Amino acid sequence: MTQKNLNHWVNKLEDSDLPILGKTMDVLKSAEKFIDAHSSQLTETILKDPNMTASVLKLANSALYSRNKKISTISRAILSLGFEAIRSLCISSLILESLPQETNPYLHKAIANAFQSALQARNLANQKGVDNSETIYIAALLYNLGEIAFWCSDDDQKMDMVSALDKGMNIKQAQEKVLGFSFNQLTMAMTKQWRISDVLQESLMRKDAPDSASRAVVLSQQLIRALPGGWEH
């Protein structure tokens, strides 16, 4: 790993204040306050964002939560979904909302994998009766934050990476050749600098993480990588 290059990228992403980092970090840092907020304050926050409002109402009226009763207000949706589900939904909405609207298949794949792994990690946690399933959801969602941030950047190295991948080089080789470090190492550096999540740090540091929360995150990543081979893989 080239530490100088890694430090350059971490500083570059911080200085650029990418929306995906700024908005999400603000929410994560006040996670406990967000959960403990009064319903009226939370409702007001959600209503300021039309997309977030639509997402909350859509989930509240889904077959999983609606119980055949139409929910048309955010306050009722909060009561139906619970603060934990609302927090995860809002964080997800902020991330999607802040991403650049460009046709980059590598960025789209990274985003899709992030949400799929987050759902799988939460399912694993719930099946095992692990507490803090929403914390696990967020850690899995941000596991590939370095990769997503890289594809969101306007750096010339992004085109070099696309060129290497289009020529048939695998993703690990391309990262080492173009950047001198891996996306995982970038995520780890960003996680430490912004003190994002202890669960995420543990998951990135140890693939055999003994902690049940980190283990769920690691397993979800392994599952996502195996899926292209089919469910029998």
Whole-angstrom distance, CA of residue 2 vs CA of residue 10: 13
The stretches in the chain having pLDDT less than 70 are 1-4, 14-41, 63-68, 84, 88, 91-103, 194-196, 207-210
* Buried-exposed string 115-128: b where 16+ CB fall within 10 A, e elsewhere: ebbbebbbbbbeee
The reported pLDDT for the residue numbered 57 is 81
153-16-97 Cα angle (round to 5): 65
User: How many CB atoms within 10 Å of residue 198?
Assistant: 14
pLDDT at 65: 61
Q: Which two tokens stand for residue 13?
A: 């992403």
**pLDDT of amino acid 45:** 73
pTM for this prediction: 0.71
Q: Residue 93 is encoded by which pair of tokens?
A: 């909405």
DSSP 202: H
Residue with token string 């007001």: 44
Nearest to 94 by CA among 133, 142, 60: 142
What pLDDT does 94 receive?
65
What confidence score (pLDDT) does residue 98 get?
63
Six-digit token pair at 88? 């995860």
Q: Which residue has the tokens 């540091």?
A: 205
Residues listed for the chain: 233
- Report residue 14 CA to chain centroid gap: 17
* pLDDT attached to residue 220: 92
